[in-house]
Amino acid sequence: MMDRAGELVTRGLYEEAIALYRSLGGYSYASSMEKPVTYIQAEELRQAGEYEEAEVLFTALGSYDDSAVKVQQCRADALYDAGDTEGAAAIYDTLEEKYRTHADAYSAESAEKLAELAGGLGWDEYLMNRYPEGSLVTFGRFEQDNNTENGGEPVRWRIVKRVDRKALLVSEYGLYPVRFAAKACTWEESEVCAWLNDWFLNRALTQEECALVIPAEPETGAYASEADRVFLPAELTAPHPATAWAKACGASVNAEGLGICWLRGDADTDGQAPALDADGTLTVVSASRMDVLAVPALWVDLTDATELILPVR
């Protein structure tokens, strides 16, 4: 039944999924999923331009996650679509950058502040200064604190490489324990590859955020197939800590909270796949293990990312 509810969410049948979760109310996990599913439904309605319906759902969610702010975003988006850019700007100016859907609706005062922020630099130089290699940013949201009632937390990424206006981001945490594969396979055929490009991508990022992710060859950033939008690093310089959620879901960690992390590669004929041990040692472990962490990596286009990819100061 739980798998059926998850399938309904994946297919966008949110009301049916919520009804099924309610019928499983005796299960703590099932009851905790109603609000996250409603939130996903509301956000998809907002992005589809169904602002009134989205606002009703966000309002019903009350203090869940950033629902109260989303109500304001819905109102501003509706005003913008109705041609009232001044009214939209008045609301956008009260919101954080990531909620300002339409940059051209900013008020003159806001535009002046953005110009001042750029300091008269060319856009490429501004992006280089805002997103230097080695810096931390937040992008997307994913459950991490093991409290599903408050929604997902901002995902922290390290910018490990810059190529022109593109950046390679690697998660600072092992976000979830995932099986690599049940048998020998290539990276492209692995379960963890499918998980990253479907389950993780569609839950961690909104449609607007997904539009920034470049289908790219992992090492160079050169264009690749749509299946390669999210991947595992081929190497990690150090073990990654597991989130509280990952640990609660069965991740294997040491006393310092560091976990075994999968690396990008193939599962060999002995059923072994590459990983970085919690002590920093390169190793291979059984690809069927369910307690090894996925550390997502992805390339993004920074050109229009200033409202969605936020530097950690």
For the chain, the straight-line distance linking the first and the last C-alpha, in angstroms and rounded, comes to 44
Over the stretch 132-153, which tens digit does the pLDDT of each residue have? 999 999 999 999 999 888 888 9
pLDDT at position 17 is 56
Task: List the one residue out of 210, 284, 294 whose CA is nearest residue 251.
Answer: 294
Which two tokens mark 105? 């609706």
| pLDDT at 112 exceeding the cut of 60 | no
pLDDT at 19: 60
At 6, list the tokens.
Answer: 């998850």
Beta strand segments in the chain, E: 136-142, 153-163, 166-171, 176-177, 213-214, 230-231, 261-262, 272-276, 282-286, 293-294, 297-301, 310-311
294: β partners: 176
For the stretch 89-109, pLDDT in tens is 888 878 887 888 876 665 544
Here the tokens at position 155 are 């995902």
Instruction: Name the DSSP letter for residue 282.
Output: E
What is each CA distance from 72 to 58, 99, 260, 302, in whole angstroms?
10, 9, 42, 26
| Whole-angstrom distance, CA of residue 113 vs CA of residue 107 | 10
The residues, ordered by sequence, that sit 6+ positions from 197 with a Cβ below 8 Å of its Cβ are 227, 228, 229, 230
Residues 241, 174: contact at Cβ < 8 Å? Answer: yes
* CB contact set of 192 (below 8 Å; sequence gap of 6+): 178, 179, 180, 181, 232, 262, 294
pLDDT of residue 27: 45
Give, as one character, the DSSP assignment of residue 243: P
The Cα 88–Cα 81 span in angstroms is: 9
C-alpha distances in Å from residue 59, one per residue of 48, 56, 68, 99, 303:
18, 5, 7, 16, 33
Strand (E) or helix (H) holding 88: helix 85-92
The model's pLDDT over 51-88, given as tens digits with 9 standing for 90+, comes to: 999 999 999 888 888 889 999 999 989 988 888 877 88
Question: Which residue shows structure tokens 């992390």?
Answer: 261
At 264-298, the pLDDT tens digits run 999 999 999 999 999 999 999 999 999 999 999 99
Q: Which two tokens stand for residue 235?
A: 């190497």
**Residue type at 73?**
Q
Q: Where are the domains of the chain?
A: 33-120, 126-311
Task: Indicate the range of 14-23, 79-88, 172-181, 251-260 predicted with least confidence.
Answer: 14-23
